[in-house]
Every structure is written in structure tokens, then in C-alpha cells.
Chain A
Amino acid sequence: MNFELTEERQMLQDTLRRFLSDKYDVPTRNAILESDTGMSADLWAQLAELGILGALFSEDDGGFGGAGFDIAVVFEELGRAGVVEPILETCILGGGLIASMGNETQKGLLESIIGGETRLALAHGEPRSRYDLSRIETTYADGKLTGHKAMSLGAPNADHVIISARESGTIYDKEGISLFLVPVSQLEMQATPVMGGGTAADIYLNGVTVTEDMRLGAAGDAFPHLETVFAAAITATCAQTLGGMEGATRLTVEYLQTRKQFGKAIGTFQALQHRLSDMLIELEQARSAVIGAAGYLDADTRLRDRYASAAKNLMGRAGRMIAEEAIQMHGGIAMTQEYELAHLTKRIIMADHMFGDTDHHLERFIALSAA
């Protein structure tokens, strides 16, 4: 066993941390949040140039990483700085599906993704699917997509959206789901900013015409590929939440050391000391959960999914505890939009609404354990 990062990943971590602490300070980030697009195209180009996007793809796909620990290292740093750009949506979901299912022509897109010229999103969840991955009502028939996709993350800033649709079977069947890579100009969407940063959209498919060359992989064959990219997305989300929790905890430590009430630093009160200790204990649990998810990302699917669901459930619980305790121990100042902690806690909590929440992954863990 060895829990050290490789030299390459250590360098990746250092580079990204330094870059973000220079270029992604709180005023910059707050300006991005206020902007119309909710992201910085300039920063996107710089991250690509720095090789951060490439670190999320394997060498075969034109990158220089793509393993679980590459994903974990990158997203932990993005989470620490509270980065809101759609990297997960573009590289892990969109890029992941193209890498795993695309034909040679479609894989040509990977170069422009890694180069920062193309952004992608996945439109999979539906208003009545909640977090069930196989529940797809949207249909593909006679060359047309019909249905309603809910809260497609990153879609408003994407060039292409990958849309899942059913070609056969009933709405819960794992068989019969296909994916189509559709230019965003063909889609009718209702966009919204997301609490804590980023964007999402509901997409209304009223018989959108798609051509065979937009299809990813074989007809009806997408489900196992979706499961694979969701495992990676869960790993990335958990790592990102871990980074946010580290930031929230650091701010709380500093505040306890400097905020004075009743003539002394509030960190001298034992009641608060014990609660800080509990936060630190949960933080270590969270770190291990992320390492577990990252380390088994390329293992067989049952092992992979048990660790992924375990991590997502644990992060949901530990994240909520740390976010709420950090706010409470700060008091009113944590309630203000401009204070760094507010942004971090929003991202920690809202991560529980992406790729399955605490309860969903508890149930999935139970089902996987019984299997």
C-alpha cells in the first residue's frame, strides 16, 4: 500500500493550486457568478493551456491521465477554490462518453475539448426520473427525439449536448437506451443559474430531428457506458466537495482563532473546540471516501459502484455537517454572499442534488451489497 501521490500528480496538484490561488480569487469568482454566462471563457482557455483538461483523459484519448486519482486531484483543487466552470460536464460526462462510445470521427472532438475549444453537456435526467439512471421516457423514433430533460448541467454553455433516449423497452429497462450528440443550436432550452454557481437547463425535445451520424455507439447500448461516466462524475463531485469542505474548515479554524467575544477568541470556548474536532474527524472520513472512490474507479463494476455510492452517501452526510457547523460557528458573517464560506457551503450542499443524493446512494449501496 502507498498513499502518496505520484510525482506527476503531485506536480499537477501544485500547479493547479498555485494557478487558482493567483487567478481565481474571491472577487474574480464573484464577478464570474454575476456575469451573464456564469463562466469565464478566458479562464477556460488558460485551464486548457495548463493541461488541466488533458489530465482528465487517457493517453489513448489524447490526454495524459484520466485515472481515478487524476480526477480526484484536479477536482479537489477546483473545489477548494470554488471553481464554477463546467469542467465536469464537459470532460467527465461529455468527453467521457465520447471517449468510451464514439467512432473515429466523433473522437475527433476530444482534441478540441482538451484544447479548450469545445464544451459539452449531458442531458439524461428527466422530471420524473429523480436519480434513477435507467428511467428514460424520452424516445428516439423515425429520426426524431421526443421528451423532456431536467436540469441538464452545463447545457447553456455547451456547444453540443449528448441526449439519452429510449429506442426499445419500457421506461425502467437498462437495455434500449441510446445517446445522440446534438449541436446546441437545434435544442430548445430553458436555462437557469444554479445555486452555488454554474448553469443548468431543462430541454424540451419536440420531435428534434437527429441524423445517424449523431448517434454514439450502437443502438440501445448506452447504459453501461452511462454507469461508467456516472461513477467518474461521482468521484469528481466527491473530490470537489472534499476541496470545499477543506476550505470551509480552514476558514472556520481561522475565524475561531481571530473572532473575539466576551473578551477572548471564541476558539477558547470548549464547546466550540469539540465541534471543530468533530468537523476535522469528518473531514478525514471524507478524504478516505474520495480515495476509495478514486482508487476503485477502474475496478470491476460492482466494486467500483459500491465505493462510488459509499462515497456519495458519506459526502452527503459529512458535507452537510461541515457546511452547517462552519456557518453556525461563524455566525452572521457566514450568511453574507460576499464571504468566501457562503460560496463553499452552497457548493457542498448543492452537490447532494447531483448524480444521486445521500438517500439514493444509501439505497443503491444496499442493493449492490445484496447482489
Chain B
Amino acid sequence: MDLNYSQEDLDFQSEVRTFMKEKLPQHLADRVRGGAEFTKDDVEEWHAILSDNGWLAQNWPKEFGGAEWNAVQRHIFEEEAALASAPRIVPFGLSMLAPVLQKFGSKEQCDHWLPRILNGDDWWCQGYSEPGAGSDLASLKTRAVLDGDHYVVNGQKTWTTLAQHANMIFCLVRTNTEVKNQEGISFLLIDMDTPGIEVRPIVLLDGGAEVNEVWFTDVKVPVANLIGEQDKGWTYAKYLLTHERTNIAGVGFSNAGLQAVKRMAKSEMSGGKPLIENPHFAARIAQVEIDLMAMSLSNLRIVSQAAKGGAPGLEASMLKVKGTIIRQEINDLARRAAGSYALPFASEALEGSNEPSFGPEGAGPVAAQYFNNRKLSIFGGSNEVQREIIAKTTLGRMQ
């Protein structure tokens, strides 16, 4: 056992740290610290900076223009990015669709779509969930019927994150209703400008509109946009989900969030002393920090395993559950720290408005973030689904 990074890892860490110092624009870091949501321009600006350095496609093989970092390097980057208050990388094209294309797409598809992802030509969104297909994703009903050289798609997707920015959507659609749910699903790439597609924003409980409904009415999709084989989409979707889980523990987010809570608790006063010296509040912070320290090590253990080629199975589910509980607990601490200044409903605070804000620095968005991040334990396979996986895997082994 050795809890230290190798010299190579340390060199990489200092390279990333220098990069953040030199290349991360101050105005983007300020927005992250202020809890602001990101505009399309912000994201594209940061993506372009990373892309110029060859660091945008971190998990892609070199042959496709990626950085081909191992899991430990990716972990180091995430940690440093969070500490520097860098914006998150929008994952839909880069780390969700791209691995599927690289593994199951044709050469033509890879040659066409991958460079466009790297250059920022396309903004992808994910068409998975439907009103009746959430945790039970395989029951999805959006129908695609083959008609000559194209499919005709009808149905509805929901919870589609940032579809308002997207010009492309990768979708799971039903191409066969005669077989078991999982066996009649196909994976289609659809141009959002195709006639018959309508995007309707969903206003969330914090006032933000980051997710959408996407409706399809007789949408024609060229057969060339089918990934792999018809009816085999479930296999590709499951492969994608293993990639969605690479940063599943969110350690970087939690570290940054905990630091923000401590900053606020130092400036906020309670009984004539900084709140951070209040025994009850200090205990709350310590409790979360202890859990986070252990989870960081769990994450590194699992990440190191993955770096050696092992595929995380139920361990990824454990990280998802524990990681989201910790992140939500930190959001809860942030709202507590703000005291009565958590009260203002300022959805503009999330968009970085210039309106004067209330109370201690950073208090503006804490309540909205607390409510918004209830999603963490719901999306990407709810924590109930993860617990099901953990139990079934374990009890299955007993048999």
C-alpha cells in the first residue's frame, strides 16, 4: 500500500495545476465560485481552451485525437479543475456518445462525427428517458419504423439536459415490438433541425430550465445514422452507461463545495463568533468531511483498479450512492450556513445577473442549488436502481 501518487502522477498534477493557473479565464472561475449556471458561450470557450491543449477528449484513444489519460490522470484533472473552479466539461458528445461511436460505429461515422465533437461543431444531447420509462428505461416507447433509406421516428423523450443548446441528439428508439423489451431497441443519431422535432423547456423547482421535453412527429432519420445493428441498441446504451460513471463519485465537486461552505461559515457570525467555530455547525462540517475523505480513498482504490484494466461493477454503484449523498449533504450545509439569507428566490443569481445580491458572498444560489441537486440521486440510474444492482450482484454471488 502506498497512499501517495507516483512521481509521474505528481508531475502530471503540477502540469494540470500550472495549466489551470495560466489558461483558466478568471471570468469563468468567478462564475463557478458564484454558483452561476453556464451559458452556451461559456462552455464553448472552456472546451476550446482544453481542445487547443489536447485535453478535451481525455478518455479517447490517441488514434481518434484524444489524450488517452488513464483513470488516475482523469481523477487528478477533475480534482485540480474543481479546486481551480473550472467549469465542468459537458459530457454528452465527449464522454457519452464518443466511446459508443469508437466501439460500435462505422469508420465513416467515426470520421464524420468525432472531429466535429472535438472542434465543437456539434452540441449533443441524450434522448433516453421517457415519461413512462425512467428507472425502467428498457420499457421506452419512442418508435422508429424503417421506410426505405430512412427511419420514421414518433414519440417523446424527457429530462433532456441542455437540449435547448443542442443541434444533435442520440436516441434510444424502439424498432421491434415483437421481442423482449431490451431486444427491440436501436441507437439513432438525429439532427435536431429535422422537421417534426419540437423542444419544450421544463421549468425546474429552482426556477431554472436546464432540461426539456423533446417531441418527435414523423421525423425522418437516414439509415446511415443507425449505430451498429438494428435492435442491438440496449448493448450500446449499457456500454455508454459504464462511461457515464467515470466521474460518478463527484469527489471534485464535493471538495469544492465543502470549501465554499467553510468560506461562508468563516464570514457568517453566530453568537458573536464565526459560524465555523459553532460546535454544532463545526460537527456537521466535520462529519461530512470525514465521509468525504473516506470516499475519496474509495474512489482512488476503484480508479486505480480501473487503471489496471478492471471494470468497476457494483463498486461504481456504491460510489454513485455515497457520492451523491455527500454532495447533497454539502448543499444542505451551504443553505444552513447562509441562515436567513438562503431565503431569496433569485433564479437570476444562477445566470450571473448584475442585480445586487443579499447577504454573505455566495449565499445567493445556495437554496436553488440545494433543490436542484436533489436530481443527483435521481438521474443516471437512481440510487434505488444502484442499490438494486449492489444487492443483486452480492446475493447472486452467494448462490
Residues of chain A at the chain B interface (Cβ within 8 Å): 125, 127-128, 130-132, 135, 150-151, 172, 190, 192-196, 200, 202, 260-263, 271-272, 320, 324, 327-328, 331-332, 334-338, 342, 345-346, 349-350, 352-354, 357-359, 362-363
Contact of A342 among B159, B205, B332, B336 (CB under 8 A): B205
Question: Does B358 lie within 8 Å of A331, measured CB to CB?
Answer: no
Question: Does B205 lie within 8 Å of A151, measured CB to CB?
Answer: no
Q: Mark B318-343, 1 if CB is under 8 A from A, else 0.
A: 00000000001000100110111111
- Given the complex of chains A and B, what is the CA–CA distance between A260 and B135 in angstroms? 10
- Given the complex of chains A and B, what is the CA–CA distance between A335 and B271 in angstroms? 36
Question: Does A335 lie within 8 Å of B204, measured CB to CB?
Answer: yes
- Given the complex of chains A and B, what is the CA–CA distance between A151 and B134 in angstroms? 40
What chain B residues lie within 8 Å of A128 (beta carbons)? 269
Whether B207 is near chain A, meaning CB under 8 Å from some CB there, is yes
Whether B344 is near chain A, meaning CB under 8 Å from some CB there, is yes
Question: Does B270 lie within 8 Å of A130, measured CB to CB?
Answer: yes
What chain B residues lie within 8 Å of A200 (beta carbons)? 343-344
Question: Does A271 lie within 8 Å of B378, measured CB to CB?
Answer: no
- Given the complex of chains A and B, what is the CA–CA distance between A359 and B280 in angstroms? 7
Identify the stretch in B8-16, B55-63, B69-77, B382-390 within 8 Å (CB) of chain A at 4 or more residues. B382-390
Whether B255 is near chain A, meaning CB under 8 Å from some CB there, is no
Q: How far is the CB of B159 from chain A (nearest CB, A)?
A: 5
Known: A324-B374, A335-B375. A130 touches B275 (CB 8 A): yes
Known: A350-B343, A362-B280. A190 touches B135 (CB 8 A): no
Question: Does B374 lie within 8 Å of A328, measured CB to CB?
Answer: yes
Question: Does A328 lie within 8 Å of B383, measured CB to CB?
Answer: yes
Question: Does B335 lie within 8 Å of A353, measured CB to CB?
Answer: yes
Within 8 A of A (CB), among B172-203: 202-203
List of 3 A-B pairs having minimum Cβ-Cβ separation, nearest first: A342-B205, A261-B136, A192-B344
Contact of B341 among A150, A172, A193, A358 (CB under 8 A): A150
- Given the complex of chains A and B, what is the CA–CA distance between A328 and B371 in angstroms? 12
What chain A residues lie within 8 Å of B270 (beta carbons)? 130, 132
Please give 20 more A-B residue pairs, beta carbons under 8 A apart, in addition to A195-B367, A332-B379: A127-B341, A127-B359, A130-B271, A130-B339, A130-B340, A150-B341, A172-B272, A192-B345, A193-B345, A194-B345, A195-B344, A261-B134, A261-B136, A263-B139, A328-B377, A332-B134, A337-B203, A346-B205, A353-B367, A357-B336
20 contacts between A and B (CB under 8 A): A125-B340, A127-B341, A131-B340, A135-B272, A192-B346, A194-B343, A194-B344, A196-B345, A263-B139, A327-B378, A331-B378, A332-B129, A332-B159, A334-B374, A337-B204, A337-B205, A338-B203, A350-B342, A353-B338, A359-B336
- Given the complex of chains A and B, what is the CA–CA distance between A320 and B284 in angstroms? 15
Whether B148 is near chain A, meaning CB under 8 Å from some CB there, is no
Question: Does A132 lie within 8 Å of B271, measured CB to CB?
Answer: yes
- Given the complex of chains A and B, what is the CA–CA distance between A194 and B343 in angstroms? 5
Q: How far is the CB of A149 from chain B (nearest CB, A)?
A: 11
Task: Report the contact-size class of chain B (Cβ under 8 Å from the partner).
Answer: 35 or more
A-B interface pairs (CB < 8 A), number? 133
Whether B356 is near chain A, meaning CB under 8 Å from some CB there, is yes
Contact of A331 among B339, B367, B382 (CB under 8 A): B382
- Given the complex of chains A and B, what is the CA–CA distance between A349 and B332 in angstroms? 10
Question: Does B384 lie within 8 Å of A195, measured CB to CB?
Answer: no
What chain A residues lie within 8 Å of B275 (beta carbons)? 130
**Which residue from chain B places its CB closest to the CB of A128 in the assembled complex?**
B269
**Which residue from chain A places its CB closest to the CB of B342 in the assembled complex?**
A353
**Which residue from chain A places its CB closest to the CB of B385 in the assembled complex?**
A261
Whether B218 is near chain A, meaning CB under 8 Å from some CB there, is no
**Which residue from chain A places its CB closest to the CB of B387 in the assembled complex?**
A271
What chain A residues lie within 8 Å of B342 (beta carbons)? 195, 350, 353
Q: How far is the CB of B237 from chain A (nearest CB, A)?
A: 17
- Given the complex of chains A and B, what is the CA–CA distance between A260 and B367 in angstroms? 31
**Which residue from chain B places its CB closest to the CB of A342 in the assembled complex?**
B205
- Given the complex of chains A and B, what is the CA–CA distance between A320 and B341 in angstroms? 18
- Given the complex of chains A and B, what is the CA–CA distance between A88 and B129 in angstroms? 42
Q: Mark B358-399, 1 if CB is under 8 A from A, else 0.
A: 110000000110110011011100111001000000000000
- Given the complex of chains A and B, what is the CA–CA distance between A203 and B91 in angstroms? 44
Contact of B340 among A193, A342, A354 (CB under 8 A): A354
Whether B281 is near chain A, meaning CB under 8 Å from some CB there, is yes
Contact of A261 among B139, B272, B284, B338 (CB under 8 A): B139
Contact of A192 among B159, B358, B368, B383 (CB under 8 A): B358
Known: A190-B356, A190-B358, A336-B204. A195 touches B340 (CB 8 A): no
What chain A residues lie within 8 Å of B338 (beta carbons)? 353
Q: How far is the CB of B319 from chain A (nearest CB, A)?
A: 18
Question: Does A272 lie within 8 Å of B384, measured CB to CB?
Answer: yes
What chain A residues lie within 8 Å of B359 (beta carbons)? 127, 150-151
- Given the complex of chains A and B, what is the CA–CA distance between A125 and B335 in angstroms? 17
